[in-house]
Amino acid sequence: MSAVRMDGKALSAKVRGSILAETEELKKQGVTPGLAVIIVGNDPASEIYVRNKERACEQCGFYSEKYALPEETTQEELLGLIAQLNESPAISGILCQMPVPKHISEQAVIDAIDPKKDVDAFHPVNVGKIMVGNFDFVPCTPAGVMELLDEYKIDPKGKECVVVGRSNIVGKPMSMLLLHRHGTVTICHSRTQDLAEVCRRADILVVAVGKAGFITPDMVKEGAVVIDVGINRNAEGKVCGDVAPEVMEKASYMTPVPGGAGPMTITMLMKNTLKAAKLQNGIR
């Protein structure tokens, strides 16, 4: 058997279309969602993502501002810009592309963004709300995975869900979202004993480790749903995920890389930005 390909590109196009329709309605009420994207330094991968985000803004009818700051930017300067954007009425959402250069504290940047404009949902206030299960913004990658599961009618309720990776951006919030949907969730990481054995229990396996080909067929139960959140580049410079391609033969559903979780991540950023604009203007 070969897995059904979970098409994040197609679902993204559909969702962006409905965001655009809603944006057009909002504009009639005098509200235009606006996203500010900040990038510090020149990491080639970050530059690609930022370009994709700008394009998504256009597709959704949003206003956007891009700030490309040099590598030498001080933390003070960056926090100054964020303070300005926090006050800007044209800006509904602020995103500072991670990673930032080493001389800048990532947490200081996250803490500086007004939680109401924190469309990444990285601010401790929003992280806390996710824990409690009462949240406005959902972290983009986990939110995209949940929409993909829904699109393919995969319900985590009661299922063994194994998340490989415990990052604040993906692993931890992913686990919470699956738990809110009544999955039985296990979080694995580099110190997990017998990782293969734990992964083989999974009905839904979500992988976010950042190592090409990390998950091999022997680690996957026949018929499992496999969600690959990894974005790596192989020796030839081609984008590939954390899951070996042969896993396709064992899984029932699987996300491709590229074209799976990645495009959905950006689409969820758009969804959060639209929501921010509505909340800031008292529109439900």
Ligand X SMILES: Nc1nc(=O)c2c([nH]1)NC[C@@H]1CN(c3ccc(C(=O)N[C@@H](CCC(=O)O)C(=O)O)cc3)C=[N+]21
Tell me which residues touch ligand X (CB under 6 A): 48-49, 52, 95-98, 120, 140, 231, 239, 257-259, 262-263, 265-266
- Phi, psi values for residue 113, rounded to 5°: -75, 130
Nearer to ligand X, 26 or 176 (CB): 176
Residue placing its CB nearer to ligand X in the complex, 65 or 192: 65
Please identify, using beta-carbon distances, which residue of 115 and 259 lies nearer to ligand X: 259
Is 19 annotated as belonging to a binding site?
Answer: no
- Catalytic pick among 7, 59, 97, 250: 97
Between 31 and 119, CB nearer to ligand X: 119
Residue 165 annotated as binding site: yes
How far apart are CB 235 and ligand X at their closest, in Å? 16
Q: Which is nearer to ligand X, 95 or 198 (CB)?
A: 95
Which one from 7, 53, 118, 275 is the annotated catalytic residue? 53
Find the shortest distance in angstroms from Cβ 175 to ligand X.
17
**Choice among 7, 114, 120, 242 that is catalytic:** 120
* Total residues found in the chain within this entry: 284
Residue sitting closest to ligand X (CB): 262
Q: In whole angstroms, give the CA distance from residue 7 to residue 48.
A: 20
Q: Is 97 a catalytic residue?
A: yes
CB 160 → ligand X: shortest distance, Å?
26
Residue 53: active-site member: yes
260-279 burial, b for 16+ CB within 10 Å, e for fewer? bbbbbbbbbbbbbbbbbbbe
Helix (H, G, I), strand (E, B) or coil at 226: strand
CA distance 225 to 208: 15
**Tokens representing residue 199 in the block:** 């992964």
End-to-end C-alpha distance for the chain, whole angstroms? 45
Least distance (Å) between residue 28 CB and ligand X:
30
**In whole angstroms, how close is the CB of 70 to ligand X at the nearest point?**
18
Q: Where are the alpha helices (DSSP H) in the chain?
A: 8-28, 44-59, 75-87, 106-112, 124-132, 140-151, 171-180, 195-200, 261-280
Is 217 or 259 the residue whose CB approaches ligand X more closely? 259
DSSP 119-188: TT--SHHHHHHHHHT--S---HHHHHHHHHHHHTT---TT-EEEEE---TTTHHHHHHHHHHTT-EEEEE
Q: SS3 of 103, please?
A: coil
Q: Does the annotation list 241 as a binding residue?
A: no
Q: How far is the CB of 150 from ligand X (least distance, A)?
A: 19
Is 190 annotated as contributing to ligand binding? no
Query: In degrees to the nearest 10, what's the CA dihedral of 147, 56, 60, 258?
Result: -30
User: So which residues are the catalytic ones?
Assistant: 53, 97, 120
User: Which residues sit in the known binding site for NADP(+)?
Assistant: 165-167, 231
Which residues sit in the known binding site? 165-167, 231
